[in-house]
Amino acid sequence: MSDPEQPEQGQQTRYLNVRQAAFIGVGAMVGAGIFALLGAAGEVAGAAVWLSFLIAGVIAVLQGYSFAKLGARYPSAGGLLEYAAEGFGLGHATSIIAWLTYLANAVVTAMVAVSFGNYATSMFAGGDAAWAKVFAALIIIVMTAVNIVGSRLVARSQTVIVYVVLGILTVFAVVTLVNMDPSLLAFSGYPAWRDIISSVALTFFAFLGFGIITFTAKDLARPDRELPRAMYLALGIATVIYIAIALGVFGTLTVEEVVSSGGTALAVAAEPTLGQAGYWLMSITALFATAGATNAGLYPAAGLSERLVDNGLFPPLMARKVGGRVTAGLLFEAAVCLVLAIAFKLEAIASIGSAVALLIFVLITVAHFRVRKETGANPAILGLAVAAAGGVLVTFIVTTLIHEVASIVTLLAILAISAGLDFGWNGRRRGRTGSSTNAHGG
Sequential pLDDT tens for the chain (442 residues)? 334 444 444 444 468 889 888 888 887 777 656 776 788 888 889 999 999 999 999 999 999 999 889 888 888 766 777 889 899 988 888 889 988 888 888 888 888 888 888 888 878 887 777 888 899 999 999 999 888 876 666 667 767 777 888 888 888 889 889 989 999 999 988 999 888 988 888 888 788 778 778 877 778 888 888 888 999 999 999 999 999 999 999 999 999 988 887 667 787 888 887 888 888 888 888 888 888 888 878 887 887 788 778 878 888 888 888 877 788 989 999 998 998 888 776 555 667 777 888 899 899 999 999 999 999 999 999 999 999 999 988 888 887 777 777 778 878 888 998 899 888 876 666 555 544 444 444 4
| 3-state DSSP assignment of residue 327 | strand
Query: Which residues are registered as beta bridge partners of 16?
Result: 220
Handedness of CA 73, 75, 80, 82 (dihedral sign): negative
Helix 223-250 × helix 18-45 angle, to 10° = 30
**Distance of alpha carbon 267 from alpha carbon 399, whole angstroms:** 30
Nearest to 363, CA basis, from 415, 321, 410, 409: 415
Nearest to 293, CA basis, from 205, 203, 411: 205
CB 318 within 8 A of CB 85: no
Nearest to 77, CA basis, from 214, 227, 226, 231: 214
Nearest to 201, CA basis, from 355, 368, 35, 367: 355
Q: How far is C-alpha 147 from the chain's CA centre?
A: 17
CB 47 within 8 A of CB 255: yes
| Alpha carbon distance, N-terminus to C-terminus of the chain | 25
User: Angle 107-113-119 (CA atoms, 0-180°, nearest 5)?
Assistant: 140
**Distance of alpha carbon 197 from alpha carbon 393, whole angstroms:** 10
**Distance of alpha carbon 259 from alpha carbon 352, whole angstroms:** 20
**Distance of alpha carbon 95 from alpha carbon 193, whole angstroms:** 37
Q: Which amino acid is at 207?
A: F
DSSP 326: E
Query: What pTM did the predictor assign?
Result: 0.78
Task: Kindly report the CATH number that applies to the domain delimited by 17-429.
Answer: 1.20.1740.10
**Distance of alpha carbon 84 from alpha carbon 67, whole angstroms:** 11
Q: In the prediction, which pLDDT does 2 show?
A: 38
Which residue blocks in 46-126 are alpha helix, DSSP H?
A: 49-73, 80-88, 92-124
In this structure, what are the phi and psi dihedrals at residue 364, rounded to the nearest 5 degrees?
A: -70, -35
Query: Which residues are registered as beta bridge partners of 326?
Result: 322
Q: In the prediction, which pLDDT does 260 show?
A: 82
Q: In the prediction, which pLDDT does 437 show?
A: 43
Residue 183 burial by Cβ neighbours in a 10 Å radius (0-12, 13-18, 19+): exposed
**Distance of alpha carbon 96 from alpha carbon 420, whole angstroms:** 9
**Distance of alpha carbon 262 from alpha carbon 364, whole angstroms:** 33
Which residue blocks in 182-262 are alpha helix, DSSP H?
A: 193-203, 223-250, 255-261
**Distance of alpha carbon 395 from alpha carbon 280, whole angstroms:** 37
In this structure, what are the phi and psi dihedrals at residue 79, rounded to the nearest 5 degrees?
A: 55, -135
